[in-house]
A and B are shown apart, each in its own frame.
Chain A
Amino acid sequence: MSQFVFEGRPVPFEPGQSIGAALTAAGIRSWRTTRFGGRPRGLYCGIGVCFDCLVTVNDRPSLRACMVEAREGDTVEGGDRDA
């Protein structure tokens, strides 16, 4: 099984899975906090509409985890630019 690294820990994924799906399958439910209230957020709409699930992948910020396919060796961090 392939893996990417999320905040220092390996997360397995099946080829074709989104980063958001792989995080959810690994039991990780939130990966960013809101900029005013500091509240945790993860997947909500799951289809690219709500922008709650933003991640930084290989230093590219503000990507929707539900829309980005995981790739072997990706480095994923939660959050967007404002975090």
Chain B
Amino acid sequence: MRDLVVIGAGPAGLAAAVAAATAGLDVALVDAGRRPGGQYYRHHAAETGRLHHDWDAFVRLRGALDRLTYLPGHRVWHVEDGFTVHALTGDRDERPVRIGARALVVATGAHDRSLPFPGWDLPGVLTAGGAQALLKGDRVTAGERIVVAGTGPFLLPVATGLAGAGATIAGVFEANRPYGFARHVARHPDKAREGAGYAALLARHRIPYRTGHAVVAAHGDDRVEAVTVARLDRDWAPVRERVIACDTVAVGHGFTPQLELPLQLGCATRMDADGSLVVAVDVAQRTSVPGVYAAGETTGVGGAQLSLVEGELAGLAVAEAAGGVAPDPAGVQRLLARRRRLRAFAAAMHAAYPVRPGWMDRLRDDTLVCRCEEVTCGRLAEAAELGATGPRSAKLLSRAGMGRCQGRVCGYATAWLTTGVCGRIPGPEDLLGTARRPIAQPVRLRDLAGEPENPRDENHPINPA
């Protein structure tokens, strides 16, 4: 039984685990990735930090991993109250593992939020995060002539990173017109520096950057060969269209926090400013379930710097609750002030880069919404005619969200499309209906059957073979 198990080794999880371990707790850090860092600090084995901001912060945390038990390549599929973390390890010859914990920090991060459009299922259309992961983790550019589109500041590092690695960026198409955002950036010297850096790189690589534009369709037979780019009005309705040739499209519309584990535990949630469901936490990053803390994107998408702060606060809070070292009050005050500032920045970012309902105008009856079960927009409309009133009932009547990804990719879109026909917009209950996943990762029946009778036995691993 560990004092603390931290799930997720991105900025928040690393900071939490290191803070708690430094305060004297017996900590295990469990992560699905092969190397620490999560999506933000995703890196190649020989990385020097060239592609990363705040690399020094990461190196410092990575250097402290010897104070705790770091378990890479562990995919957590369920967490039982009490707490027992059920994971699978091994990327091909998988093996079940269980870890007991007195406290948990959930730092499972987020994935790209997808909005469907005609042709988005063609090979060569990737999420912006997917293109970034290929570049940072594997040093592979997703294509040769790439269109980057969607909304949010994240499009900038993706486009400039790919250009720096030799790809031609046919254009960056930002759907919003975030003119007012610059004054928020100006208040944060590090963000201003980062922004100026991207502007310089866009200029150096001669990358066209267009606000108020979007990719509204992708074309090709077996792979993407071109996209239709439209100028958008305020509500994102297309005004004027043109076709651009490309072999790759990287699209991102913000992020969706990964909430399956806190939802398994019964943690209370709320809807954040960006329309995502997030875990509700108090000043010490405590969730509504005693002993369960959350930090980073799971509590509201806000970027790596905020995640580092929240993680550290969570780790310190767990250590204090466990009777360890009381944290330095001045240090905590500094962290709280920084968290306040960064959360305000995140709120400004969400206000400047919203998703506008006009994205739904791009869809045709035959446009896929659920990629796994190949459910089209038209079939969702049929489900509504049959009596569906939101994403959960539409899932039962159309199979949207019932496939392998369990609605991770289509959940947001399905929530909007299925509530829209009922003349409303998604509320927290609708998003919950797409976010509950009692089995968070595929688990072989043999491994399920091999679960020991008494779940409280610490027996690690379950199958020594």
Contact = CB atoms under 8 A, between A and B. Distances in A.
Is there any pair of Cβ atoms, one from A and one from B, under 8 angstroms apart in the complex?
Answer: yes
Interface in B389-414: 403-405, 408-409
Contacts of B122: 40
A63 B39 contact: no
B253 interface: no
A15 B129 CA distance: 22
Contacts of B442: 62
Interface string A18-58: 10111011000110001111011111111111111000011
A29 to B, nearest CB: 4
Contacts of B408: 49-50
B127 A45 contact: yes
B246 interface: no
Contact of A44 (B32, B125, B132, B403): B125
A66 B34 CA distance: 11
Interface residues of B, number: 41
Secondary structure at the A interface, as helix, strand, loop or mixed, is: loop
A17 interface: yes
A47 B130 contact: yes
Given A42-B123, A69-B91, A37 B374 contact: yes
Given A16-B44, A58-B92, A49 B133 contact: no
A14 B44 CA distance: 10
Contacts of B126: 43-46
Given A15-B45, A40-B223, A47 B111 contact: yes
A47 B39 contact: yes
B178 interface: no
B123 A29 contact: yes
Given A45-B127, A68-B92, A34 B374 contact: yes
B263 interface: no
B292 interface: no
Given A24-B134, A30-B222, A51 B403 contact: yes
B124 interface: yes
A24 B142 contact: yes
Contacts of A66: 130, 133
A24 B121 contact: no
Nearest to B125: A44
Interface residues of A, number: 39
A51 B134 contact: no
B140 A25 contact: yes
A44 B371 contact: yes
Interface in B91-129: 91-93, 111-112, 121-127, 129
A44 B119 CA distance: 13
A69 B132 CA distance: 17
Contacts of B222: 30, 40
B223 A51 contact: no
Contact of A18 (B129, B137, B142): B137
A43 B92 contact: no
Contacts of B129: 45-47
Interface in A57-83: 57-58, 60, 62-63, 66-69
24 contacts: A14-B138, A16-B34, A17-B139, A21-B140, A30-B123, A36-B373, A39-B374, A40-B123, A43-B123, A44-B125, A44-B126, A44-B409, A46-B133, A46-B134, A47-B39, A47-B111, A47-B130, A48-B32, A50-B127, A50-B371, A51-B404, A58-B92, A62-B442, A68-B92
Counting from the closest, the 6 A-B pairs by CB-CB distance are A46-B130, A21-B138, A51-B404, A30-B123, A29-B123, A16-B45
